[in-house]
Chains A and B, each alone.
Chain A
Amino acid sequence: MRKKRSKQDKIYDTIIFIILTIIFAVVAYPLYFIVISSISNPEAVSSGRVFLFPVGLTFDGYMEVFKNQQVVSGFLNSLFYTFCGVMLNLALTLPTAYALSRNKFGGKKIVTIFYVITMFVSGGMIPTYLVVKNLHLLDSMFALILPGALGVYNMIVARTFFKMNISEELYDAAAIDGCAEAKFFFKIALPLSKAIIAIMVLYYGVGHWNSYFSALLYMKTETKFPLQLVLRSILVQNQSHLSQTITTAAQQEALEQRRQLMELMKYSLIIVSSLPVLIMYPLVQKHFVKGVMIGSIKG
């Protein structure tokens, strides 16, 4: 039997409910708008007639997106970069973080300082480019996976997590049973750290998925472009330059067609490109609350 709520409680509840609803609408509407715009007639969208419901229902935008060879290959490339990138990130970040979380590890402080320095001081764009160039990584897929394979910030979060959750006593107990360091890490520490692994996957994964700048700098071959770069080249077309040199009707028509195609594809592209991230979030979210909080308390 629920306790009857008083009048004040009800008013209070209602106000809270209204405020939260407004906040939710403010956050959710842009997303909803993009969804309905992607299945509306682009003319209607740009003239501002699309507000609550799709106008002139059409799936042409999606048809174009999936017909577009560049988008498809970009999507596959992005999946590849994200998957391989995350695997490598984990392979480097977790052992490093674990090692630095153990008190017995000599020189822990110095090594940590070395790592932390790189957080605040970086070479900058051109020196980094030169490094990548001299390693002969330009225009190879490794250029998007190797540089930055270990994120120091993430490593510190993971280290703190290990410190808090995998106690020295646990290792001592295992050692008495004849367990070696490596075995302890793989058999005991990692299975106990599912939360932090999930978070690392999310952080690194979203990072890889959304990154375009390093691809912009290092890649030359179109077939190796990640999706974000393909998107930029479709959506951020600078047509004003082209129109300066137009002299015939055929050219005008070609340009106009491209513009209309872009308008048509705009919103469906945005959806297709953010879908994986949107799907990923809820899956990892439950670990999120637990893991990051724990990682944030200084041990």
Chain B
Amino acid sequence: MKNKKLITVMLIIVLSFTIISSGCGNKASKTSKGKQEISTTVDENGKINGLMYKEGLPIVDPSDYSFSIFTDGTKTTDDFYLMPKLEEQTGINVDVQLFPYEVAKEKYSLSLNSGDYADCIGGWILSATDILKFGVEMGTFLPLEEYFEKFAPNIQEVLELEGVSDIMTAPDGHIYSIPYVLSAPKVDFNPYINTRWLDNLGLKVPTTTEELKDVLRAFKEKDANGNGDPNDEIPFSFDPVNKNLGYYAGWFGMPVNDYGFTMVGEKLTFGANSEPYKNMVKYMRDLFNEELLDPEMFTIDQAQWKAKGSTDIYGVAMMYGSGDIMPFEAGEIPEWVPLPVLSSEFTDEPLWFRDSYGTSVLKNQAVITDNAENPEVIVRWWDNMFQLENSIQTNGGPLDIVVFKDGDNYYTDNSKLTEEEKDKYSWVNLYPQSLPRYIPTDFKFIEKVPMFQEKDHVDELYEPYLMEHTIPQYWATAEESAKLSDIQTAIADYIREKTAQWIAGQADIETDWDNYLNQLDKLKLNDYIEMRKKAINQ
């Protein structure tokens, strides 16, 4: 009796399994696309592949074509202002699938692994390693350079700017992504000094490391901010996320970044084990000893640092611009000026770290996938995006509403907008800000109230002292980049930890230094330097 029941149940289970498994039909696997000839033949209607006009607008007849872009970002309105405008121009409907960065990152890797990805993928979620893997190795991302040559004069023009196509070209000689070139400050972070404090105490902007010490002492001892309390000043403070202490080694001859690297002439060099670095640490240690540095510099978080800064207690601050700590009011003349590159007794040639040549080229900001039908249409859509008036609207706002043309110049004016319109035309709601566009680096909106005026000033002031070259970008395969980032993390963490200990006086740099060099060797410093050099030369 019992056995019979058992057999019945077994049978039911087995049967149900066969039914379930037979229900799942095998999907035809994707045929990999071989090298396709890109057709440029125009038929009697003036279209290529019966779909796209070779030049001019619209690109296709309305509602003939649509494609999807998957990217990261956020917006506060239902739709981007610019997208319908672009559809009017091109006839192409774009389905923007926009998710916050963390969400996008998850969805992105999942979709690539499940074959369910969009026609076009863009934003900060892409990395150079992805392009090597999904472009060079697997062919999921399409090589685009031929499409650019045939259909995209604007993009082609950007690629021909100095150095751009070198950066964009993957090791196999193809270009897999839409170039994104934008102007960038040559100096990303540097110290600023509060001029009002200097005036209050009748001091001048220091030019040497010794003079800086004296100024900081004065800030500490006297009532520099003039609030009646001589003891609430913090002479020298750092943005906790971007302390970049290595840059200060430039005052002693060799600035390095957080990973310990720098360029000497055209050579990539590791400098966190050098004499200048050691001198920088000693100098900072002395300042810390005299309580001239922010005692919380290694422990505070960025929000707290900003909040503290807005109460006017920093005399010198390492930051991007004064907008970081002052409540940003457009049009205010900041009280901060960049601290010049200081000279010291250790070197005749003080230097500062160069972050860019004035432009930055983002080489993995948008790709087209093999799910896209007629990629040439998507390329032409991007090419149209690169038109000056389209691109500046992504940054400034809608033409004739916020951005106005004045002869050859453009100026922005949002003073006539209601609060609601301000939100509607707010920067994040114009266009997915993580995606490429092209604004010539010499283009400037004529702003009534320029931002970070001191920032432009920094580049001018620092130019003579900057390293000649920037650290070049590189391509690394998934395997290499895993190895690189393991060693890099270990080394960068170790440098940061030791530097903090030495400065805060928890360890003595003199007795510790040889030990530190040995430990760096143990962390495979030499392999790391070799790998970095190799990645550049690929």
A residues bordering B, Cβ < 8 Å? 43, 46-48, 106-107, 110-111, 114, 125-126, 129-130, 133-134, 216-217, 220, 229, 232-233, 236-238, 241-245, 247-256, 258, 263
B residues in contact with A133, CB < 8 Å: 114, 116
B residues in contact with A237, CB < 8 Å: 74, 100-101
Could you jot down 22 A-B contacts, CB within 8 Å?
A46-B303, A46-B307, A106-B5, A107-B5, A107-B9, A111-B9, A126-B113, A130-B114, A232-B102, A233-B99, A238-B72, A238-B101, A242-B434, A244-B360, A249-B449, A249-B451, A250-B330, A250-B396, A250-B412, A253-B330, A256-B323, A258-B428
- Expressed in whole angstroms, the Cα–Cα distance for A251 and B13 within the complex equals 62
Nearest B residue (CB) for A109? B6
Residues 1-35 of chain B: 1 if any A CB is under 8 Å from the residue's CB, otherwise 0?
01001101110010000000000100000000000
The answer to whether A248 touches B182 (Cβ under 8 A) is no
List the 9 shortest-distance A-B pairs measured between CB atoms, nearest first. Answer: A107-B9, A106-B5, A249-B451, A47-B307, A233-B100, A238-B101, A46-B303, A254-B427, A249-B330
Interface size class of B (residues with CB under 8 A): 35 or more
A residues in contact with B101, CB < 8 Å: 237-238, 241
Confirm or deny: B395 has a beta carbon within 8 angstroms of a beta carbon on chain A: yes
Confirm or deny: B57 has a beta carbon within 8 angstroms of a beta carbon on chain A: no
The answer to whether A250 touches B397 (Cβ under 8 A) is yes
Nearest B residue (CB) for A126? B113
- Expressed in whole angstroms, the Cα–Cα distance for A238 and B102 within the complex equals 8
Residues 508-521 of chain B: 1 if any A CB is under 8 Å from the residue's CB, otherwise 0?
00000000000000
Chain A contact surface mostly: helix
The answer to whether B102 touches A252 (Cβ under 8 A) is no
A residues in contact with B13, CB < 8 Å: 110-111, 114
Given contacts A126-B114, A245-B182, A250-B397, contact A46 B2 (CB under 8 A): no
User: 8 Å CB contacts to A: which residues of B298-314?
Assistant: 303-304, 306-308, 310-311
User: 8 Å CB contacts to A: which residues of B428-444?
Assistant: 428, 433-434, 439
B residues in contact with A229, CB < 8 Å: 103
B residues in contact with A233, CB < 8 Å: 74, 99-100, 103
Residues 99-141 of chain B: 1 if any A CB is under 8 Å from the residue's CB, otherwise 0?
1111100110010011010000000100000000000000000
Residues 360-398 of chain B: 1 if any A CB is under 8 Å from the residue's CB, otherwise 0?
100000000000000000000000000000000001110
Nearest A residue (CB) for B309? A47
- Expressed in whole angstroms, the Cα–Cα distance for A126 and B111 within the complex equals 9
B residues bordering A, Cβ < 8 Å? 2, 5-6, 8-10, 13, 24, 72-74, 97, 99-103, 106-107, 110, 113-114, 116, 124, 182-184, 303-304, 306-308, 310-311, 320, 323, 328, 330-331, 360, 395-397, 412, 414, 426-428, 433-434, 439, 445, 447, 449-452
Partner of B451, one of A107, A126, A242, A248: A248
B residues in contact with A253, CB < 8 Å: 328, 330
The answer to whether A247 touches B182 (Cβ under 8 A) is yes
Partner of A232, one of B103, B308, B360, B395: B103
The answer to whether A110 touches B10 (Cβ under 8 A) is yes
- Expressed in whole angstroms, the Cα–Cα distance for A111 and B426 within the complex equals 59
A residues in contact with B102, CB < 8 Å: 232, 236, 238
**Nearest Cβ distance between residue B69 and chain A, in whole angstroms?**
13
Given A129-B114, A248-B451, 7 additional A-B pairs, CB 8 A: A47-B304, A106-B9, A129-B110, A133-B116, A247-B395, A249-B451, A249-B452
B residues in contact with A263, CB < 8 Å: 303
The answer to whether B397 touches A217 (Cβ under 8 A) is no
The answer to whether B395 touches A248 (Cβ under 8 A) is yes
**Nearest Cβ distance between residue B233 and chain A, in whole angstroms?**
16
- Expressed in whole angstroms, the Cα–Cα distance for A210 and B2 within the complex equals 45
The answer to whether A216 touches B103 (Cβ under 8 A) is yes
- Expressed in whole angstroms, the Cα–Cα distance for A241 and B122 within the complex equals 13
B residues in contact with A114, CB < 8 Å: 13
A residues in contact with B124, CB < 8 Å: 238, 241
B residues in contact with A43, CB < 8 Å: 307, 310
B residues in contact with A242, CB < 8 Å: 73, 428, 433-434
A residues in contact with B114, CB < 8 Å: 126, 129-130, 133
The answer to whether B451 touches A252 (Cβ under 8 A) is yes
A residues in contact with B116, CB < 8 Å: 133
**Nearest Cβ distance between residue A63 and chain B, in whole angstroms?**
15
- Expressed in whole angstroms, the Cα–Cα distance for A248 and B103 within the complex equals 28
Nearest A residue (CB) for B450? A249
Partner of B100, one of A220, A232, A248, A251: A232
- Expressed in whole angstroms, the Cα–Cα distance for A46 and B307 within the complex equals 7
**Nearest Cβ distance between residue B361 and chain A, in whole angstroms?**
12
- Expressed in whole angstroms, the Cα–Cα distance for A263 and B10 within the complex equals 59
The answer to whether A110 touches B328 (Cβ under 8 A) is no
B residues in contact with A250, CB < 8 Å: 330, 396-397, 412, 414, 427
The answer to whether A46 touches B304 (Cβ under 8 A) is yes
Nearest B residue (CB) for A220? B97
- Expressed in whole angstroms, the Cα–Cα distance for A106 and B24 within the complex equals 30
Given contacts A106-B8, A133-B114, contact A248 B445 (CB under 8 A): yes
Given contacts A237-B100, A247-B183, A251-B395, contact A110 B9 (CB under 8 A): yes
Interface centre among A47, A130, A255 (most CB of B within 10 A): A47
**Nearest Cβ distance between residue B157 and chain A, in whole angstroms?**
20
**Nearest Cβ distance between residue B396 and chain A, in whole angstroms?**
7
Given contacts A217-B106, A248-B447, contact A134 B433 (CB under 8 A): no
B residues in contact with A241, CB < 8 Å: 72, 101, 124, 434
Partner of A106, one of B2, B100, B307: B2
A residues in contact with B450, CB < 8 Å: 249
**Nearest Cβ distance between residue B20 and chain A, in whole angstroms?**
11
B residues in contact with A256, CB < 8 Å: 323, 328
The answer to whether B447 touches A249 (Cβ under 8 A) is yes
A residues in contact with B99, CB < 8 Å: 233
**Nearest Cβ distance between residue A163 and chain B, in whole angstroms?**
19
Nearest A residue (CB) for B429? A254
**Nearest Cβ distance between residue A94 and chain B, in whole angstroms?**
21
Partner of A47, one of B73, B308, B320, B452: B308
The answer to whether A216 touches B427 (Cβ under 8 A) is no
B residues in contact with A251, CB < 8 Å: 395, 427, 451
Interface centre among A114, A243, A250, A251 (most CB of B within 10 A): A250
A residues in contact with B303, CB < 8 Å: 46, 263
**Nearest Cβ distance between residue B231 and chain A, in whole angstroms?**
18
- Expressed in whole angstroms, the Cα–Cα distance for A235 and B495 within the complex equals 31
Interface centre among B73, B74, B106, B113 (most CB of A within 10 A): B74
B residues in contact with A249, CB < 8 Å: 330-331, 447, 449-452
- Expressed in whole angstroms, the Cα–Cα distance for A51 and B44 within the complex equals 77
**Nearest Cβ distance between residue A214 and chain B, in whole angstroms?**
11
B residues in contact with A129, CB < 8 Å: 110, 114
**Nearest Cβ distance between residue B357 and chain A, in whole angstroms?**
16
- Expressed in whole angstroms, the Cα–Cα distance for A249 and B428 within the complex equals 14
**Nearest Cβ distance between residue B421 and chain A, in whole angstroms?**
13
The answer to whether A48 touches B304 (Cβ under 8 A) is yes
- Expressed in whole angstroms, the Cα–Cα distance for A252 and B303 within the complex equals 17
**Nearest Cβ distance between residue B277 and chain A, in whole angstroms?**
26
The answer to whether A134 touches B24 (Cβ under 8 A) is yes
B residues in contact with A255, CB < 8 Å: 427
B residues in contact with A106, CB < 8 Å: 2, 5-6, 8-9
The answer to whether A248 touches B433 (Cβ under 8 A) is no
**Nearest Cβ distance between residue B78 and chain A, in whole angstroms?**
9
